Amino acid sequence: MGAVVGTLTMQTRQRRPSRDKVDDDLELSMVCHRPEGLEQLESQTNFSKKELQVLYRGFKNECPSGVVNEDTFKQIYSQFFPHGDASTYAHYLFNAFDSSHNGSIKFEDFVTALSILLRGTTTEKLQWTFNLYDINRDGYINKEEMTDIVKAIYDMMGRFTYPALKTDTPKQHVDAFFQKMDKNRDGVVTLDEFILSCQEDENIMRSLQLFENVI
Amino acid sequence: MAAGVAAWLPFARAAAIGWMPVANLPMPVAPTNKNKHQDELIILNVSGRRFQTWRNTLDRYPDTLLGSSEKEFFFNEETREYFFDRDPDVFRSILNFYRTGKLHYPRYECISAYDEELAFFGIIPEIISDCCYEEYKDRKRENTERLMDDLEDNKDSKLPNMTFRETMWRAFENPHTSTMALVFYYVTGFFIAISVITNVVETVPCGSTPNQRDIPCGERYTEAFFCMDTACVMIFTVEYLMRLFAAPSRYRFMRSVMSIIDVVAILPYYIGLVMTNNEDVSGAFVTLRVFRVFRIFKFSRHSQGLRILGYTLKSCASELGFLLFSLTMAIIIFATVMFYAEKGSSSSKFTSIPASFWYTIVTMTTLGYGDMVPKTIAGKIFGSICSLSGVLVIALPVPVIVSNFSRIYHQNQRADKRRAQKVQKARLARMRISKSGSSTAFLHSKRNGLNQSLELTGSLEEDQQMKKTTSLLESQHHHLLHCLEKTTNHEFVDERLYEQGYLQTALQNFPSRSPSLSSEEGITGTCCSRRTKKNMQPLSATHTHSHTHNLQELSALHIQCGEQQPLNTSRSSLNLMSDESGSLNCKSSGLVTTAIISIPTPPSNNSRASPDAPPPPNPDAPPLPNPGTDVVKISAL
């Protein structure tokens, strides 16, 4: 009986060392990134030095290592939307922010994107939004991509909404969107169609100016 | 919302631009930062040690002293700093709480001093982070126990107006209170000892009669032993009855372990009195006498250590159970093996597997009586394996039990830990509430009509009024959530209201028959749903009533709007904006009329047609109804 117990414990002990080694490797490869100088960033973006300082302090507080990986990003974004599940939309946002597509956002990426969103021209903002919607980066928004985005937005609402969310509510929303945006009815929305349609819609134009004074 | 991510709110709001092209409704006005000053450093002088931090850092927790305007009371005009005459070491932890969002409890700090500082700065201890929370709770528990012990010592001084019954109970429970109690305590102890000794001596063979047979003393001096037994039992009975009389809760006393022991100890005597000296029942009677030995357990009232031992065994029940279970498994395995191994040998004592149990137990506990020994080689091999494994199996749980005993002996109460676990559950519930607090906060503010006022008027006075109740951070966060609602044209409600709304739509589906009805349901549904700034609901209901008189089919919807009224009165609060909402209501109802008229088409086209129909008449009306797109599905389940 004791022998049986003994052999069992020996087996588990053998399995563990390999796992420990993997953990050690991960620990060693912790990345720490420092951003470029303040002057450089100031020239590259539309923010003043003080604003950059405020932004960096907040950034560094949440991510002491200097880079945001997707999980941290999703976690931070989900804190603002406690009702529903913000992880899908955060995923798309992450891909939009991560301009170099290496799986992590550095402070420069962060600040460049914010500069466009808060201080850019309307065209730049619309271009950024088009980039966000175009998940596979092929220059066209098709219905599947748009449905994914809209579903992600609806996911953030959570379950308890009024009126209750139905399963094809996102689809209807996407249909309405394509009705408005797809001028030549070819089933995809190009950048020019997108910018043109948005410029025609006053609501959109007005809402783009909404967050001017955020910083 | 955690304070740490407050710095990321600007990013979240900027990212909301991604929703704008998708939204069909206009967005609400953003809350403006009226007093937009540059973030400044403030100096906190705590007993001479200066701490500096950003003002925004302290503003993260507006319901504490440093985060609210209460700190202005401590502002020193000459030196332009905030002076607090408190402990600077503890203040370090408190300030770190603002910076990192986590409150830590330093181990070297005295628990009551720490509690006082927390109370002064308006921070509740439940938010101590998990890394330090166990330590905090343990120290707090020790402290309260110490206080309670002190209190009990003080309480032992006789209170003037205690009834006779209460005095007696106190005397029983705590013998040191009065001399009488002490005397009683020693007398009962003496008699328990006498009774136990009597039972033991009763069986000793003493003296040999001419019959050449040693008879036990009990049978020789029957009367003497009977007298002793009677005296002891009388004392015990009297004691039990007195305890029963004095107990504050008789039912609870009768269920307690000690009273059961008392009863079991004295019952055999009475049963023996009742039964005659019949031959048949004398066997059973003798068995009953065994229970007299339980009198020895009455000593546990007199010994603290015995009580703790009993308590330990009770609390180590799982370890003991494991020990027993593993032993049983081993015994069965080895007994089986030994039986089959020894089957071949002649005149083997291993006649059956249960007979081999005895051998296995004796071998595993390393007793080795030698009354059963294996003779075959296989039997000897397995026998040696059995004894070796016996040592291991028994040695394993014993240290656990020992450590348990010492832990309990030092800590002294496991019941307090259970009480602490209840507090832990309450703490987890509180943390859950605070985490969901951000969502409920948004729903609360919606109820109070803050968002609605921002949307409709955006005038300065109302903004200022609202700002007083919520911090800027909160209002920005709520604005963000409101934008999301507008993008999807659905609103956040809490679970209860969601279920109510669902039930109502379910009820409503029975009368509806035609598809055209569903489209029109959508519209009036829109009308009702739009007015989910709940205070406006009663007005909208009346408006829809007037309009739906034209359309007989919409009588079913009457019910819906009407039914929603009780819903809304529960949610509505005193609101200043009702008149403005009324005027807006007219406009939108007007739009509803036109929309109803303009739709002869099946529902699928409605979603396209309706956005185009209303804009020409009223381009400026902010709440542009968009019935087709999102709200239609009231009919469908």
Give A154-172 pLDDT, tens digit per residue. Answer: 888 888 887 777 888 888 8
Q: Taken in order A75, A78, A84, A86, is the CA torsion positive or negative?
A: negative
> Looking at beta carbons, which residues of chain B come within 8 Å of A9?
none
Q: Is the pLDDT of residue B414 over 60?
A: no
**Using 50, 70 and 90 to split pLDDT, how confident is the model at B622?**
very low
Two structure tokens written together for B316: 């180590």
Q: Is the pLDDT of residue B567 over 50?
A: no
In this predicted model, which residue has the larger pLDDT, B284 or A8? B284
* pLDDT on residue A185: 85
Least-confidence region, from B70-74, B198-202, B215-219:
B215-219
Closest by Cβ to A161, choosing from B2, B14, B492: B492
Residues 6+ apart with CB under 8 A from B533: B446, B449, B451, B452, B581
Residues 475-514 of chain B with CB under 8 A from chain A are: 477, 480-481, 483-485, 487-488, 490-495, 497-498, 501-502, 505
State how far the Cα of B142 lies from the Cα of B236, in Å rounded to an integer.
38
Instruction: Work out the average pLDDT over B242-255.
Output: 89
* pLDDT on residue B336: 94
State how far the Cα of A26 lies from the Cα of B476, in Å rounded to an integer.
39
pLDDT in tens, A105-131: 888 888 888 888 888 888 888 888 888
**Using 50, 70 and 90 to split pLDDT, how confident is the model at B591?**
very low
Residues 6+ apart with CB under 8 A from B294: B261, B264, B265
Closest by Cβ to B498, choosing from A1, A2, A162: A162
Q: Is the pLDDT of residue B565 over 60?
A: no
Q: Which residues on neighbouring strands pair with residue B214, listed in sequence order? A: B208
Please give, rounded to a whole number of angstroms, the shortest distance from the CA of A66 to a CA of chain B: 15
Q: Using a CB–CB cutoff of 8 Å, tell me whether B563 touches chain A.
A: no
Q: What is the number of alpha carbons within 13 Å of residue B184 lying toward its C-beta?
A: 22
* pLDDT on residue B589: 37
Closest by Cβ to B608, choosing from A62, A79, A179: A179
Instruction: Work out the average pLDDT over B341-348.
Output: 86
Other residues' Cβ atoms within 10 Å of the Cβ of residue B552: 8
Q: Is the pLDDT of residue B105 over 80?
A: yes
Instruction: Work out the average pLDDT over B139-160.
Output: 70
> Looking at beta carbons, which residues of chain A come within 8 Å of B501?
162-164
Q: What is the number of alpha carbons within 13 Å of residue A150 lying toward its C-beta?
A: 28
Q: What is the pTM of this model?
A: 0.48
* pLDDT on residue B462: 45
pLDDT in tens, B73-93: 888 889 999 999 999 999 999
Q: Is the pLDDT of residue B545 over 70?
A: no
* pLDDT on residue B370: 92
Residues 420-449 of chain B with CB under 8 A from chain A are: 435-436, 438-439
**Cβ A160–B497 below 8 Å, yes or no?**
yes
B292 by Cβ neighbours in 10 Å (0-12 / 13-18 / 19+) ranks as buried
* pLDDT on residue B154: 58
CB B281 within 8 Å of CB B289: no
Q: Is the pLDDT of residue A187 over 70?
A: yes
Residues 6+ apart with CB under 8 A from B123: B61, B64, B94, B97, B103
Helix (H, G, I), strand (E, B) or coil at B53: strand
A-to-B residue pairs, Cβ atoms closer than 8 angstroms = 193
DSSP class of B128: B
Least-confidence region, from B154-158, B430-434, B455-459, B544-548:
B544-548
Which is it for strands B41-46 and B81-84: parallel, antiparallel or unpaired?
parallel
**Using 50, 70 and 90 to split pLDDT, how confident is the model at B534?**
very low
> Looking at beta carbons, which residues of chain A come within 8 Å of B629?
172-173, 176
* pLDDT on residue B18: 82
**Using 50, 70 and 90 to split pLDDT, how confident is the model at B595?**
very low
**Type of residue found at B330:** A
In this predicted model, which residue has the larger pLDDT, B384 or B590? B384
Q: Is the pLDDT of residue B26 over 90?
A: no
